């Protein structure tokens, strides 16, 4: 029987274990659906999670539900905003809760939130993003809720809470928060033991009051669920390193919350004051020797609702205290603090701060301050006075300032001010009351953000109701010396209203090195996880965004990169991360330069646009020193002489503020006044010398040469221009790239006399005055690289073409001459009227001969048939005459000597 009972018991246990193991697989879907439905049907938002896991075995008789990647997304008026998100939420409840009806509330006994982000926001219309509960009418009992918190334990791990009130411009952030609470919240009255650690940041009206200040809190809280009252029974808080103890209660009513809390420092040791200062600045205070006291105590009483905050009073006091760090030679003594922060009405605007006294001494130097600040949360009104004399070097001798902050100098101040923020915001500085004077002598300042040590010999500032007058600011940094005077128009706006510094200044300098004042902004790129490449730190030069000023500057020498500009004067206007130059003039390369333009660092890639007028620049020095000219006109470095030029260019700047040549675009109009050409050091001219042996390129005439360039996308285009060499005109046009690839054509109008003896002989033989200025165009195509150019010409084909042309001219001339002679002879043969009847026998004979020839040619019959006796002689005479005439005509046409032709015995009629 016992064995049978044991078997049955074992079987039941096995079945129970099997059910505990298998049940989650069947219930998981139901739980997922149940939770999503319960939450989403009760809120005006979208609740979701990526996965859910259910375990019955590990926590039996409780069930554990783990939700992963939870999100709670707002609907209008905060459409798409994330109200809550968490990597994981763990819930524990009785197993029986899993089998309840979907409409029945679930009782939770344990809650853990890990890696959560809670964002609480009030918009400018004071709508709250957490107000997402659906209105279901009048609630009757707690069973109307979908979840009942009968917690015995809860945890919040590594989570962040952000509270942002846009209407009041207030932001509170609690980061890296870890919080635990234990107690039985299922009871009407219980005690909840809590521990909290977090970093707290608080900002209001662009003023940062707390910046990740560490806070720790140990609190035993009495919980009365029926009265919704939470009482602080035994509590201690640690703000930075300042320990506070407090007690009191918070009661949650239907329309408001009642608050009654008092607190004070756990001791009166002056170390409490150092503990208020963030540990980064106060360092290790355990071994600091102190005397005197420091206490903080206060109380919050009243209600919290839409119109009110609790009334409060906080007193901060210290009398005749001192402290000394063990590793520093000097101490801070005679410390007196008497400050009260109060609100007596519960209206936020009625908060005020009264600094009745704040003073301390280091050696014989003393600092004093009194101030009264009213309406702290409204139209803040400030009345203050500061006076004292302080050797700044003593500060680092008595207090552990950052290692890179090495102050020196004697500061003397006596300043009074009275203003309200509404006046400052409206920029009505004439309605403020600020007066006094500040002087600083022998000041030295060094920081990692400034390249060199800054030394101020003398600084004198006078405070006026509307402006601050800079009477003197004389000093040096690196190679730079400066002497500045001017006015600041809105010092209060800069200090309290987040405005830019507005002012006008006059700057004089003997040597001003731009690298001494360049502010480097360090950017850290993300590391490459795959290649395990460490993060790179990149520095970019930025124009300060807080400056809105005009500077009239004169400097004997301005150093920029490897250039020295002399006698510089002009106006610099800085605004919105842009520097505008106007009316700038300087001397450089033995010439004069006028320029204007702008530089902007507002975008990720700095940009610039400039106009430069250059007068009488030494060409050689200019092109050796300026990288820009090396790429725009590389051949100019062989020229000796002067240059006038107007340049318009724009493009991007590299991080070191030098132009990115690949981004440049613009144009240049230049006039050259060249004395000598160093052709031996130019491979282009050497190559042209080889192609044209009749030209000495050293003798090129470049005087008053004018040319124009345009450049964009890395290509420089040269507008056609003409240079002269003796009686040869050379026309040049083409382009080259910034990496000095050449594509040029030089067309030479070459006189024929330079083209060889054959051409000269042909011209001489033709003997025509119209050919004396005959030229032939010869083109030289220049390609390759500037350092290794290639030159090809059409000279051979040109000479051949000219030769053919000259032969044709000679041929036509000979033909024309032959025709003229034939016409002349025929005209003579036809014979005009004889001048006298007593013509010589020679003329008569000639006329007769012509008539005989023509008669023979025309085949005229003889006048008488009875002349047979003379027939043979007559026939012979005709033939001879014809031959003589033909020989004369052809001889004249062909320009040959007449040869004797024997008379043929046989005649032709």
Contact in structure between 270 and 241 (CB atoms under 8 Å) = no
Write down the number of H helices and E strands in the chain.
13, 39
Task: For residues 159-166, give the mean pLDDT.
Answer: 91
Give the pLDDT confidence score for residue 298 in this predicted structure. 94
Between 313 and 644, whose confidence is greater? Answer: 313
Between 715 and 633, whose confidence is greater? Answer: 715
Q: What is the mean pLDDT of the chain?
A: 77
Identify which of 102-116, 353-367, 829-843 has the greatest average pLDDT.
353-367
Q: Is the pLDDT of residue 73 over 90?
A: yes
Q: What is the pLDDT of residues 866-909, one digit of tens each?
A: 444 444 444 444 334 333 433 333 333 333 333 443 433 333 32
685 CB-near residues (< 8 Å, 6+ apart): 638, 677, 679, 697
pLDDT confidence bin for 844, thresholds 50/70/90: very low
Contact in structure between 566 and 588 (CB atoms under 8 Å) = yes
- Tokens representing residue 156 in the block: 């919040």
Q: Is the pLDDT of residue 393 over 80?
A: yes
**Residue 109: which of 165, 59, 49, 34 has the closest Cα?**
59
Contact in structure between 661 and 627 (CB atoms under 8 Å) = yes
Percentage of residues in the chain having pLDDT higher than 90: 23
Q: Is the pLDDT of residue 345 over 60?
A: yes
Q: Is the pLDDT of residue 828 over 90?
A: no
Domain extent listing, the chain: 1-132+145-168, 267-396, 402-491, 500-523+537-677, 847-909
Q: What is the pLDDT of residues 535-573, one digit of tens each?
A: 544 556 677 788 889 999 999 998 877 778 889 999 989
503 CB-near residues (< 8 Å, 6+ apart): 470, 486, 487, 488, 489, 549, 550
Q: Poorest-confidence range of 284-293, 836-845, 854-863?
A: 854-863
**Residue 478: which of 453, 458, 459, 457 has the closest Cα?**
453
pLDDT confidence bin for 355, thresholds 50/70/90: very high
Task: For residues 481-506, give the mean pLDDT.
Answer: 86
pLDDT confidence bin for 492, thresholds 50/70/90: confident
Contact in structure between 793 and 781 (CB atoms under 8 Å) = yes
Give the pLDDT confidence score for residue 659 in this predicted structure. 81
Q: Poorest-confidence range of 419-433, 542-556, 624-638?
A: 624-638
SS3 assignment for 566-623 = EEEEEEEEEECCEEEEEEEEEEECCEEEEEEEEEECCCCCCEEEEEEEEEEEEHHHHH
Q: What is the pLDDT of residues 739-795, one digit of tens each?
A: 888 898 888 888 877 776 766 676 666 666 656 667 778 888 888 888 888 888 877
Identify which of 46-55, 378-387, 398-407 has the greatest average pLDDT.
378-387
Give the pLDDT confidence score for residue 336 in this predicted structure. 95
pLDDT confidence bin for 414, thresholds 50/70/90: very high
Q: What is the pLDDT of residues 177-221, one digit of tens each?
A: 999 999 887 788 889 899 999 998 888 766 677 778 888 999 999
Q: What is the pLDDT of residues 97-138, one digit of tens each?
A: 666 665 666 677 888 999 999 999 988 888 889 888 876 554
pLDDT confidence bin for 305, thresholds 50/70/90: confident
Between 408 and 641, whose confidence is greater? Answer: 408
Give the pLDDT confidence score for residue 140 in this predicted structure. 41
Contact in structure between 82 and 121 (CB atoms under 8 Å) = no
**Residue 316: which of 271, 344, 354 has the closest Cα?**
354
pLDDT confidence bin for 15, thresholds 50/70/90: very low
Separation CA 283–CA 279 (nearest Å): 5
Question: Rounded to 5 degrees, what are φ and ψ at 721?
Answer: -145, 165
621 to each of 151, 507, 825, how far by Cα in Å? 85, 29, 76
Task: For residues 145-173, give the mean pLDDT.
Answer: 82
Give the pLDDT confidence score for residue 281 in this predicted structure. 65
Percentage of residues in the chain having pLDDT higher than 70: 74
Give the pLDDT confidence score for residue 510 in this predicted structure. 95
Task: For residues 479-489, give the mean pLDDT.
Answer: 92
Residue 269's beta-bridge partner residues?
Answer: 293
* Distance from the Cα of residue 127 to its chain's centroid: 39
- Tokens representing residue 793 in the block: 């010409």
Q: How many residues does the chain have?
A: 909
Give the pLDDT confidence score for residue 676 in this predicted structure. 66
Residue 296's beta-bridge partner residues?
Answer: 316
Separation CA 435–CA 42 (nearest Å): 62
Q: Could you tell me whether strands 189-204 and 454-463 are parallel, antiparallel, or unpaired per DSSP bridges?
A: unpaired
pLDDT confidence bin for 438, thresholds 50/70/90: very high
Q: Is the pLDDT of residue 524 over 60?
A: no
């Amino acid at each position: 029987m016992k064995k049978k009972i044991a078997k049955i018991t074992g079987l039941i246990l096995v079945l129970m274990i099997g059910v505990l193991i298998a049940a989650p697989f069947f219930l998981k879907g139901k739980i997922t659906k149940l939770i999503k439905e319960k939450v989403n049907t009760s809120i005006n938002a979208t609740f979701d999670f990526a996965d859910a896991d259910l375990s019955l075995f590990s926590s039996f008789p409780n069930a554990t539900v783990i939700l992963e990647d939870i999100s709670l997304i707002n609907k209008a008026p905060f459409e798409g905003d994330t109200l809550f998100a968490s990597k994981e939420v763990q819930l524990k409840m009785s197993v029986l809760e899993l089998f309840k009806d979907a409409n029945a509330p679930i009782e939770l006994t344990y809650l853990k939130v890990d890696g959560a982000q809670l964002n609480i926001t009030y918009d400018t219309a004071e709508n709250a993003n957490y107000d997402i509960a659906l209105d279901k009418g009048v609630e009757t009992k707690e069973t109307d809720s979908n979840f009942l918190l009968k917690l015995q334990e809860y945890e919040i791990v590594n989570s962040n809470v952000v509270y942002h009130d846009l209407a009041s411009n207030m932001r509170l952030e609690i980061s890296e928060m870890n919080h635990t609470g234990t107690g039985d919240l299922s009871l009407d009255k219980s005690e909840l033991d809590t521990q909290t650690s977090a970093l707290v940041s608080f900002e209001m009206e662009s003023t940062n009051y707390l910046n990740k200040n560490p806070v720790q809190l140990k609190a035993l809280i009495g919980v009365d669920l029926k009265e919704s009252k939470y009482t602080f029974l035994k509590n201690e808080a640690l703000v930075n390193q300042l320990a506070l103890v407090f007690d009191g209660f918070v009661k949650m009513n239907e329309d408001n919350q009642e608050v009654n809390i008092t607190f004070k420092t756990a001791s009166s040791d002056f170390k409490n004051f150092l503990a208020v200062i963030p540990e980064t600045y106060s360092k290790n205070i355990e071994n600091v020797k102190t005397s005197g006291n420091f206490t903080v105590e206060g109380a919050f009483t009243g209600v919290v609702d839409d119109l009110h905050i609790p009334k409060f009073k906080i007193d901060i006091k210290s009398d005749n205290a001192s402290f000394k760090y063990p590793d520093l030679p000097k101490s801070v003594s005679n410390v007196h603090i008497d400050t009260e922060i109060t609100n007596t009405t519960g209206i936020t605007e009625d908060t005020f701060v009264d600094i009745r006294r704040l003073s301390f001494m280091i050696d014989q130097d003393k600092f004093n301050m009194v101030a009264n600040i009213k309406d702290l949360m409204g139209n803040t009104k400030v009345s203050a006075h500061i006076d004292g004399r302080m050797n700044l070097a003593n500060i680092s001798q008595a207090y552990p300032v950052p290692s890179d902050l090495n102050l020196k100098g004697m500061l003397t101040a006596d300043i009074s001010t009275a203003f309200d923020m509404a006046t400052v915001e409206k920029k009505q500085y004439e309605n403020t009351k600020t007066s006094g004077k500040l002087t600083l002598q022998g000041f030295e300042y060094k920081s990692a953000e400034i390249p060199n040590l800054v030394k101020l010999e003398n600084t004198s500032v006078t405070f006026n109701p509307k402006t601050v007058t800079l009477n003197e600011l004389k000093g040096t940094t690196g190679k730079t010396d400066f002497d500045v005077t001017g006015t600041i128009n809105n010092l209060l706006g800069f200090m309290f209203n987040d405005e830019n510094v507005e002012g006008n200044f006059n700057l004089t300098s003997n040597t001003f090195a731009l690298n001494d004042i360049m502010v480097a902004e360090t950017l850290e790129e993300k590391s490459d996880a795959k290649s395990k490449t460490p993060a790179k730190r990149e520095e970019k030069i930025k124009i300060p965004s807080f400056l809105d000023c005009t500077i009239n500057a004169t400097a004997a020498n301005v150093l920029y990169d490897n250039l020295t500009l002399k006698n510089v004067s002009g106006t610099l206007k800085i605004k919105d991360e842009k520097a505008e130059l106007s009316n700038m003039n300087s001397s450089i390369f033995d010439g004069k330069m006028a320029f204007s333009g702008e530089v902007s660092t507002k975008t990720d890639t700095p940009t610039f646009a400039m106009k430069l007028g250059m007068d009488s620049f030494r060409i050689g020095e200019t092109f050796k020193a300026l990288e820009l000219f090396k790429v725009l006109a590389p051949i100019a470095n062989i020229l000796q002489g002067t240059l006038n030029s107007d340049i318009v260019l724009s493009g991007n700047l590299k991080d070191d503020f030098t132009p990115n040549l690949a981004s440049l675009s613009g144009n240049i109009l230049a006039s050259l006044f060249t004395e000598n050409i160093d052709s031996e050091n130019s491979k282009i001219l050497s190559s042209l010398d080889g192609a044209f042996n009749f030209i000495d390129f050293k003798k090129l005439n470049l005087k008053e040469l004018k040319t124009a360039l345009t450049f964009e996308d890395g290509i420089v285009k040269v507008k056609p221009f003409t240079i002269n060499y003796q009686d040869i005109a050379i026309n040049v046009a083409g382009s080259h790239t910034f990496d000095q690839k050449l594509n040029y054509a030089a067309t030479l109008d070459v006189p024929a006399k330079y083209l060889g003896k054959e051409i000269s002989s042909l011209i001489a033989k033709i003997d025509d005055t119209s050919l004396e200025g005959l030229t032939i165009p010869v083109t030289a195509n220049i390609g390759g690289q500037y350092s290794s150019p290639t030159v090809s010409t059409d000279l051979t084909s040109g000479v051949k073409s000219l030769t053919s042309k000259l032969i044709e001219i000679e041929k036509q001339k000979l033909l024309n001459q032959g025709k003229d002679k034939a016409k002349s002879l025929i005209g003579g043969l036809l014979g005009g009227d004889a001048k006298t009847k007593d013509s010589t026998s020679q003329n008569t004979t000639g006329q007769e001969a012509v008539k005989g020839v023509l008669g023979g040619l025309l085949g005229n019959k003889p006048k008488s048939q009875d002349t047979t006796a003379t027939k043979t002689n007559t026939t012979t005479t005709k033939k001879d005459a014809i031959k003589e005439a033909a020989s004369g005509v052809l001889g004249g046409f062909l320009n040959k000597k007449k040869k004797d032709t024997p008379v043929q015995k046989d005649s032709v009629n």
